[in-house]
Amino acid sequence: MEIEIARRKEVEQRFKDFYSSVSHELRSPITSIQGALQLIEQTRERPAVKELIDTADISCERLIRLINDLLDVKQIEEGRLGLDLKEVDALELVNVAVDGMQGMAHNANVSLEVVMDSLSFVVADQDRIVQVLTNLISNAIKYSPSGAQVLIKVTQPETNQPRLRFAVEDSGPGISDEHQHKIFGKFERIDAADGQKRAGSGLGLAISKGIVEEHGGTIGFTSVTGKGSRFWFELATVQENTVPVMRSDSSVSAEKTLS
């Protein structure tokens, strides 16, 4: 009973912290859009105007992402995600997600490497699975040191079930053992093992878990402090093709291991 009360209090506190951090997250991009717009009004210098418009644009992006995340959390909680399931080519899913993340990777000086060990079709809502891959790749880039490589790998797990595993691997700071059980929780943000603070709402992994589980799939990760993290999820396949194929956006590399 006492444990239950303590647990409830902790959840309530987390809600309070979440709402205060969300109001901060919403307020700061709006304030910066406002500031940029006021300065645009006053300035006539062209390069300065471009910079201000870029600032306003980045802030709008952040706001839209946060609002979309909040709506997704609500939909997942209420069980009304409404998946549009089709037979989708795994390669297509990876390509769309990777192409969308090249800009962020470039800015962070991180390269994205794709290894397709298996070509298969999965039963999926394309936009939602691209969203999961994008979340995982975005985290991997965010936590990678400059000059590092993020590996996106598709394999057939060694089980009798017809499933496909998508994995995203980085060589970042990893997640310490004491925090590992929390990271798929809603509103959970943990300072990385390297002590550096990174922007984020703490919703990406909770949403990813909700989407994968709504597909009947599984999601998980392994992480070693100081070495990196490997996030993965598995979906049911429609059709199997064992011809190994590779697509790379930089030089071809052998698979790394975390252990």
In whole angstroms, the minimum distance from the beta carbon of 192 to ligand ADP comes to 5
Query: What's the CA gap between 94 and 182, in Å, rounded?
Result: 27
Q: Which of 72, 113, 125, 170 binds ligand ADP (CB under 6 A)?
A: 170
Place of tokens 């079709």: 121
Q: Which helix (H) or strand (E) holds 249?
A: none
Q: Which is nearer to ligand ADP, 92 or 191 (CB)?
A: 191
Of 36 and 152, CB closest to ligand ADP: 152
Residue 126 neighbours by CB under 8 Å, 6+ apart: 84, 86, 88, 92, 93, 96
Q: Which is nearer to ligand ADP, 59 or 120 (CB)?
A: 59
Distance of closest approach, residue 29 Cβ to ligand ADP, in angstroms:
15
Cα→Cα distances 121→76, 164, 165, Å: 25, 9, 12
- 55 or 135: CB nearest ligand ADP: 135
Check residue 200 for interaction with ligand ADP (CB under 6 A): yes
Residue 189 or 215: which CB sits closer to ligand ADP? 189
Own/partner contacts of 132-135, CB < 8 Å, gap of 24 or more, are: 132/208, 132/211, 132/212, 132/219, 132/233, 133/93, 133/94, 133/97, 133/98, 133/166, 133/168, 134/97, 134/100, 134/101, 135/204, 135/205, 135/207, 135/208
Query: Could you say which of 88, 98, 130, 203 contacts ligand ADP (CB under 6 A)?
Result: 203
Position 189 contacts ligand ADP (CB under 6 A): yes
Residue among 25, 89, 117, 188 that touches ligand ADP (CB under 6 A): 188
Q: How far is the CB of 153 from ligand ADP (least distance, A)?
A: 14
Query: Site mask, ligand ADP, residues 27-66, x = CB under 6 A?
Result: ----------------------------------------
Measured distance CA(77)–CA(103) in Å, rounded: 32
Rounded to 5°, the CA angle 99-101-106 comes to 105
Binding site for ligand ADP (CB under 6 A): 135, 139-140, 143, 170, 172, 175, 183, 188-190, 192, 200-206, 229
